[in-house]
Amino acid sequence: MDERWLISQAREGDKEAFSSLVEIYQSRAVRAAFSLLGNLEDARDSAQEAFVKAYFHLNNFRDESRFYTWFYRILMNVCRDFLRTKKFRVFISFWSDKEEEQAIVDKLASQEKNAGQVLENKELGVKIHDALQKLPFQQKNIFSLRYLDGMSLDEIAEATELTLGAVKANLWQACQKMKTFLKAMDVKEVSDV
Amino acid sequence: MSDSSFNETDKRWQKALEKEREKMPSPELMKNFSSQVVEKIEKREEKRVFKLPEIVSARVFVPVFTMMILASFVVLRLPFESPKSPAIMESIQIGTANASEVEEDIAELRELGAWTEEDEQSTGISSGFEALEIGNDSA
Protein backbone atom coordinates (compact mmCIF):
# COMPACT_ATOMS: atom_id res chain seq x y z
CA MET A 1 0.00 0.00 0.00
CA ASP A 2 1.13 3.55 -0.73
CA GLU A 3 2.75 5.21 2.28
CA ARG A 4 1.29 8.65 1.50
CA TRP A 5 -2.21 7.21 1.31
CA LEU A 6 -1.74 5.42 4.65
CA ILE A 7 -0.56 8.65 6.25
CA SER A 8 -3.50 10.66 4.90
CA GLN A 9 -5.93 7.98 6.12
CA ALA A 10 -4.27 7.84 9.54
CA ARG A 11 -4.55 11.63 9.82
CA GLU A 12 -8.30 11.23 9.51
CA GLY A 13 -8.30 8.75 12.41
CA ASP A 14 -8.06 5.48 10.47
CA LYS A 15 -6.16 3.30 12.92
CA GLU A 16 -5.97 0.33 10.57
CA ALA A 17 -4.11 2.48 8.09
CA PHE A 18 -1.76 3.61 10.82
CA SER A 19 -1.29 0.00 11.90
CA SER A 20 -0.21 -0.85 8.34
CA LEU A 21 2.23 2.05 8.45
CA VAL A 22 3.62 0.75 11.74
CA GLU A 23 4.12 -2.69 10.22
CA ILE A 24 6.30 -1.20 7.49
CA TYR A 25 8.74 0.37 9.93
CA GLN A 26 8.37 -1.55 13.19
CA SER A 27 11.44 -3.81 12.83
CA ARG A 28 13.63 -0.94 11.71
CA ALA A 29 12.38 1.19 14.61
CA VAL A 30 13.03 -1.51 17.23
CA ARG A 31 16.49 -2.14 15.84
CA ALA A 32 17.30 1.58 15.90
CA ALA A 33 16.00 1.94 19.45
CA PHE A 34 18.03 -1.10 20.46
CA SER A 35 21.20 0.55 19.18
CA LEU A 36 20.48 3.57 21.35
CA LEU A 37 19.26 1.77 24.47
CA GLY A 38 21.11 -1.55 24.39
CA ASN A 39 18.09 -3.37 25.83
CA LEU A 40 15.63 -5.25 23.73
CA GLU A 41 12.51 -4.86 25.87
CA ASP A 42 13.17 -1.18 26.40
CA ALA A 43 13.74 -0.80 22.66
CA ARG A 44 10.37 -2.41 21.92
CA ASP A 45 8.54 -0.24 24.46
CA SER A 46 10.25 2.93 23.26
CA ALA A 47 9.49 2.16 19.62
CA GLN A 48 5.82 1.62 20.49
CA GLU A 49 5.73 4.85 22.46
CA ALA A 50 7.30 6.69 19.51
CA PHE A 51 4.63 5.32 17.15
CA VAL A 52 1.87 6.43 19.54
CA LYS A 53 3.36 9.92 19.69
CA ALA A 54 3.74 9.97 15.92
CA TYR A 55 0.03 9.16 15.52
CA PHE A 56 -1.02 12.11 17.67
CA HIS A 57 1.37 14.47 15.87
CA LEU A 58 0.77 13.31 12.30
CA ASN A 59 -0.49 16.77 11.40
CA ASN A 60 3.03 18.09 12.02
CA PHE A 61 4.44 15.77 9.37
CA ARG A 62 5.20 17.62 6.17
CA ASP A 63 4.52 15.55 3.10
CA GLU A 64 7.72 16.62 1.33
CA SER A 65 9.90 14.88 3.95
CA ARG A 66 10.36 11.14 4.39
CA PHE A 67 8.12 9.54 6.99
CA TYR A 68 10.89 7.48 8.57
CA THR A 69 13.30 10.40 9.05
CA TRP A 70 10.45 12.42 10.64
CA PHE A 71 9.47 9.44 12.78
CA TYR A 72 13.09 8.82 13.72
CA ARG A 73 13.30 12.25 15.35
CA ILE A 74 10.42 11.24 17.63
CA LEU A 75 12.02 7.88 18.33
CA MET A 76 15.35 9.51 19.13
CA ASN A 77 13.68 11.89 21.61
CA VAL A 78 11.76 9.05 23.26
CA CYS A 79 15.00 7.07 23.66
CA ARG A 80 16.85 10.11 24.99
CA ASP A 81 14.09 10.72 27.54
CA PHE A 82 14.17 7.06 28.46
CA LEU A 83 17.91 7.17 29.10
CA ARG A 84 17.56 10.34 31.14
CA THR A 85 14.85 9.03 33.38
CA LYS A 86 15.67 5.39 33.85
CA LYS A 87 18.77 3.41 34.59
CA PHE A 88 19.05 0.45 32.34
CA ARG A 89 21.19 -2.60 32.14
CA VAL A 90 22.60 -3.80 28.88
CA PHE A 91 21.90 -7.29 27.80
CA ILE A 92 21.95 -8.82 24.39
CA SER A 93 19.14 -11.04 23.36
CA PHE A 94 18.44 -9.25 20.12
CA TRP A 95 18.46 -12.28 17.93
CA SER A 96 16.22 -14.94 19.33
CA ASP A 97 17.19 -18.56 19.62
CA LYS A 98 14.53 -19.43 17.09
CA GLU A 99 16.01 -17.19 14.46
CA GLU A 100 19.48 -18.38 15.26
CA GLU A 101 18.43 -22.03 14.90
CA GLN A 102 16.76 -21.25 11.60
CA ALA A 103 19.87 -19.48 10.41
CA ILE A 104 22.00 -22.47 11.35
CA VAL A 105 19.68 -24.87 9.52
CA ASP A 106 19.73 -22.66 6.43
CA LYS A 107 23.49 -22.44 6.41
CA LEU A 108 23.98 -26.15 6.93
CA ALA A 109 21.55 -26.90 4.13
CA SER A 110 23.31 -24.62 1.71
CA GLN A 111 26.72 -25.97 2.79
CA GLU A 112 28.02 -22.43 2.67
CA LYS A 113 28.84 -21.89 6.31
CA ASN A 114 28.77 -23.92 9.43
CA ALA A 115 26.91 -23.25 12.64
CA GLY A 116 30.05 -22.01 14.35
CA GLN A 117 30.34 -19.13 11.94
CA VAL A 118 26.72 -18.12 12.54
CA LEU A 119 27.34 -18.03 16.28
CA GLU A 120 30.50 -16.07 15.68
CA ASN A 121 28.51 -13.49 13.73
CA LYS A 122 26.11 -13.17 16.61
CA GLU A 123 29.06 -12.60 18.90
CA LEU A 124 30.18 -9.77 16.62
CA GLY A 125 26.76 -8.15 16.99
CA VAL A 126 27.02 -8.37 20.76
CA LYS A 127 30.43 -6.76 20.80
CA ILE A 128 29.43 -3.98 18.44
CA HIS A 129 26.40 -3.11 20.58
CA ASP A 130 28.53 -3.28 23.72
CA ALA A 131 31.03 -0.87 22.20
CA LEU A 132 28.22 1.39 20.93
CA GLN A 133 26.94 1.90 24.45
CA LYS A 134 30.25 3.52 25.37
CA LEU A 135 29.78 6.32 22.85
CA PRO A 136 28.10 9.65 23.63
CA PHE A 137 24.42 9.71 22.59
CA GLN A 138 24.86 11.79 19.43
CA GLN A 139 27.79 9.73 18.12
CA LYS A 140 26.04 6.47 18.97
CA ASN A 141 22.96 7.72 17.18
CA ILE A 142 24.80 8.74 14.01
CA PHE A 143 27.01 5.65 13.91
CA SER A 144 24.06 3.29 14.21
CA LEU A 145 22.03 5.20 11.63
CA ARG A 146 24.90 5.03 9.16
CA TYR A 147 26.22 1.52 9.62
CA LEU A 148 23.42 -0.46 11.25
CA ASP A 149 20.44 1.21 9.62
CA GLY A 150 22.07 2.10 6.31
CA MET A 151 20.88 5.70 6.06
CA SER A 152 22.61 8.12 3.71
CA LEU A 153 24.48 11.07 5.22
CA ASP A 154 21.80 13.46 3.94
CA GLU A 155 19.06 11.40 5.57
CA ILE A 156 21.00 11.37 8.85
CA ALA A 157 21.36 15.15 8.68
CA GLU A 158 17.60 15.45 8.17
CA ALA A 159 16.75 12.99 10.93
CA THR A 160 19.10 14.50 13.49
CA GLU A 161 18.57 18.12 12.37
CA LEU A 162 22.32 18.60 12.06
CA THR A 163 24.37 19.99 9.18
CA LEU A 164 26.11 17.56 6.87
CA GLY A 165 29.45 18.73 8.25
CA ALA A 166 28.37 18.07 11.84
CA VAL A 167 27.16 14.60 10.84
CA LYS A 168 30.51 13.78 9.23
CA ALA A 169 32.46 15.11 12.21
CA ASN A 170 30.39 13.07 14.68
CA LEU A 171 30.65 9.99 12.49
CA TRP A 172 34.41 10.35 12.17
CA GLN A 173 34.85 10.60 15.92
CA ALA A 174 32.48 7.70 16.50
CA CYS A 175 34.44 5.54 14.02
CA GLN A 176 37.76 6.29 15.71
CA LYS A 177 36.35 5.45 19.15
CA MET A 178 34.61 2.30 17.93
CA LYS A 179 37.84 1.11 16.33
CA THR A 180 39.65 1.52 19.67
CA PHE A 181 36.88 -0.18 21.64
CA LEU A 182 36.59 -3.13 19.26
CA LYS A 183 40.35 -3.62 19.07
CA ALA A 184 40.39 -3.81 22.86
CA MET A 185 37.68 -6.45 22.61
CA ASP A 186 39.83 -8.35 20.09
CA VAL A 187 37.26 -8.22 17.29
CA LYS A 188 38.95 -9.44 14.13
CA GLU A 189 36.16 -8.52 11.71
CA VAL A 190 36.79 -4.80 12.07
CA SER A 191 40.57 -4.91 12.42
CA ASP A 192 41.09 -3.37 8.97
CA VAL A 193 38.68 -0.40 9.28
CA MET B 1 40.05 14.71 8.52
CA SER B 2 40.15 14.97 4.73
CA ASP B 3 37.22 14.03 2.52
CA SER B 4 39.13 11.12 1.00
CA SER B 5 40.14 9.65 4.34
CA PHE B 6 36.57 10.07 5.59
CA ASN B 7 35.16 8.35 2.52
CA GLU B 8 37.62 5.48 2.82
CA THR B 9 36.88 4.94 6.50
CA ASP B 10 33.17 5.20 5.78
CA LYS B 11 33.38 2.55 3.07
CA ARG B 12 35.38 0.17 5.28
CA TRP B 13 32.89 0.44 8.12
CA GLN B 14 30.00 -0.06 5.73
CA LYS B 15 31.59 -3.25 4.46
CA ALA B 16 32.56 -4.51 7.92
CA LEU B 17 29.03 -4.13 9.28
CA GLU B 18 27.18 -5.23 6.14
CA LYS B 19 25.91 -8.41 7.77
CA GLU B 20 24.82 -6.58 10.90
CA ARG B 21 22.48 -4.44 8.79
CA GLU B 22 20.68 -7.51 7.56
CA LYS B 23 19.81 -8.66 11.04
CA MET B 24 16.30 -7.84 12.17
CA PRO B 25 14.47 -8.37 15.46
CA SER B 26 12.98 -11.84 15.83
CA PRO B 27 9.39 -12.41 14.67
CA GLU B 28 8.56 -13.51 18.23
CA LEU B 29 9.55 -10.12 19.53
CA MET B 30 7.59 -8.29 16.87
CA LYS B 31 4.45 -10.35 17.41
CA ASN B 32 1.35 -8.13 17.94
CA PHE B 33 3.54 -5.05 17.83
CA SER B 34 1.26 -2.95 15.63
CA SER B 35 -1.95 -4.09 17.36
CA GLN B 36 -0.45 -3.10 20.71
CA VAL B 37 0.39 0.32 19.30
CA VAL B 38 -3.25 0.75 18.24
CA GLU B 39 -4.41 -0.36 21.71
CA LYS B 40 -2.17 2.23 23.33
CA ILE B 41 -3.50 4.92 21.00
CA GLU B 42 -7.09 4.02 21.88
CA LYS B 43 -6.35 4.07 25.61
CA ARG B 44 -4.74 7.47 25.29
CA GLU B 45 -7.70 8.75 23.30
CA GLU B 46 -10.03 7.64 26.10
CA LYS B 47 -7.90 9.52 28.61
CA ARG B 48 -8.01 12.60 26.42
CA VAL B 49 -11.82 12.64 26.49
CA PHE B 50 -11.78 13.01 30.28
CA LYS B 51 -8.88 15.39 30.30
CA LEU B 52 -9.46 19.07 31.05
CA PRO B 53 -9.11 21.37 28.08
CA GLU B 54 -5.46 22.18 27.48
CA ILE B 55 -5.97 25.86 28.24
CA VAL B 56 -7.19 24.99 31.74
CA SER B 57 -4.46 22.45 32.42
CA ALA B 58 -1.74 24.72 31.02
CA ARG B 59 1.17 25.25 33.40
CA VAL B 60 0.75 29.00 33.19
CA PHE B 61 -2.39 28.68 35.31
CA VAL B 62 -0.66 26.84 38.15
CA PRO B 63 0.27 30.04 40.06
CA VAL B 64 -3.23 31.42 39.44
CA PHE B 65 -4.89 28.34 40.92
CA THR B 66 -2.41 28.29 43.82
CA MET B 67 -3.22 31.91 44.65
CA MET B 68 -6.94 31.17 44.47
CA ILE B 69 -6.62 28.28 46.91
CA LEU B 70 -4.45 30.30 49.32
CA ALA B 71 -6.84 33.26 49.12
CA SER B 72 -9.81 31.05 49.98
CA PHE B 73 -7.99 29.81 53.12
CA VAL B 74 -7.20 33.37 54.16
CA VAL B 75 -10.81 34.42 53.71
CA LEU B 76 -12.06 31.47 55.75
CA ARG B 77 -9.72 32.32 58.61
CA LEU B 78 -10.60 36.04 58.78
CA PRO B 79 -12.29 37.05 62.10
CA PHE B 80 -15.82 38.34 61.59
CA GLU B 81 -18.99 38.77 63.69
CA SER B 82 -21.68 36.23 63.15
CA PRO B 83 -25.14 37.64 62.36
CA LYS B 84 -27.37 37.91 65.42
CA SER B 85 -29.96 35.22 65.88
CA PRO B 86 -33.72 36.04 65.54
CA ALA B 87 -34.25 35.43 69.29
CA ILE B 88 -31.67 38.07 70.23
CA MET B 89 -33.15 40.49 67.72
CA GLU B 90 -36.59 40.00 69.28
CA SER B 91 -35.31 40.69 72.80
CA ILE B 92 -33.62 43.83 71.54
CA GLN B 93 -36.93 44.91 70.02
CA ILE B 94 -38.73 44.34 73.34
CA GLY B 95 -35.99 46.14 75.21
CA THR B 96 -36.34 49.19 73.05
CA ALA B 97 -40.16 49.08 72.85
CA ASN B 98 -42.15 51.48 74.99
CA ALA B 99 -44.53 50.38 77.73
CA SER B 100 -47.74 51.08 75.86
CA GLU B 101 -46.69 48.96 72.90
CA VAL B 102 -45.92 46.00 75.17
CA GLU B 103 -49.21 46.44 76.99
CA GLU B 104 -51.12 46.42 73.71
CA ASP B 105 -49.37 43.26 72.62
CA ILE B 106 -50.19 41.51 75.91
CA ALA B 107 -53.81 42.60 75.63
CA GLU B 108 -54.03 41.12 72.15
CA LEU B 109 -52.51 37.89 73.34
CA ARG B 110 -54.88 37.73 76.26
CA GLU B 111 -57.86 38.11 73.91
CA LEU B 112 -56.56 35.22 71.88
CA GLY B 113 -56.11 33.17 75.05
CA ALA B 114 -52.39 32.90 74.51
CA TRP B 115 -51.46 35.00 77.56
CA THR B 116 -52.40 33.42 80.88
CA GLU B 117 -51.90 34.26 84.51
CA GLU B 118 -49.05 31.79 84.59
CA ASP B 119 -47.26 33.90 81.99
CA GLU B 120 -47.80 36.97 84.09
CA GLN B 121 -46.37 35.27 87.14
CA SER B 122 -43.37 33.82 85.31
CA THR B 123 -42.49 37.05 83.51
CA GLY B 124 -43.45 39.35 86.30
CA ILE B 125 -45.45 41.51 83.86
CA SER B 126 -48.91 42.39 85.10
CA SER B 127 -51.73 44.30 83.52
CA GLY B 128 -50.66 47.23 85.61
CA PHE B 129 -47.70 47.81 83.32
CA GLU B 130 -46.37 50.75 85.21
CA ALA B 131 -44.35 48.36 87.40
CA LEU B 132 -42.29 47.23 84.46
CA GLU B 133 -39.17 49.20 83.98
CA ILE B 134 -38.08 49.45 80.45
CA GLY B 135 -34.76 51.10 79.86
CA ASN B 136 -35.54 53.83 77.39
CA ASP B 137 -38.88 54.82 78.84
CA SER B 138 -37.65 55.07 82.42
CA ALA B 139 -34.78 57.20 81.23
A34 vs B95, more confident:
A34
- Residues B118, B91, single domain; the answer is yes
Distance CA A6, CA A58 (A): 11
Walk me through the domains of chain A, giving residue ranges and CATH numbers: 3-85 (1.10.1740.10), 97-184 (1.10.10.10)
In a domain, B12, yes or no: no
The low-confidence residues of chain A, meaning pLDDT below 50, are: 88-96, 101, 104-105, 107-121
Q: Considering only alpha carbons, which residue of chain A is nearest residue B41?
A: A52
Contact A27 B30 (CB under 8 A): yes
Number of domains in chain B: 2
Range of the domain at B64: 33-77
- Residues B72, B96, single domain; the answer is no
Closest residue by Cα to residue B3 from A193, A172, A89: A172
Say if residue A26 is exposed, middle or buried (CB neighbours under 10 Å; 0-12, 13-18, 19+).
buried
CB A75, CB A45: distance < 8 Å: no
- Residues B93, B134, single domain; the answer is yes
pLDDT, chain B, mean: 77
In a domain, B95, yes or no: yes
- Residues B63, B93, single domain; the answer is no
Q: Which residues contact A50 (CB under 8 A, 6 or more apart)?
A: A29, A33, A71, A74, A75, A78
- Residues B129, B100, single domain; the answer is yes
In a domain, B68, yes or no: yes
Distance CA B16, CA A125 (A): 11
List Cα–Cα distances, B17 to A68, A172, B14, in angstroms. Answer: 22, 16, 5
Name which of B17, B21, B25 is nearest A94 (Cβ-Cβ): B25
Assess: ipTM above 0.95.
no
Contact B28 A18 (CB under 8 A): no
B21 vs B136, more confident:
B21
- Residues B101, B122, single domain; the answer is yes
Please report the pLDDT score of residue B19 as a whole number.
85
Written as one letter, the residue type at B22 is E
pLDDT, chain A, mean: 81
Distance CA A33, CA A37 (A): 6
Please report the pLDDT score of residue B93 as a whole number.
61
pLDDT digits (tens, 9 = 90+) for B14-51: 998 888 888 888 888 899 999 999 999 999 988 877 66
pLDDT digits (tens, 9 = 90+) for B116-134: 888 877 776 655 555 455 5
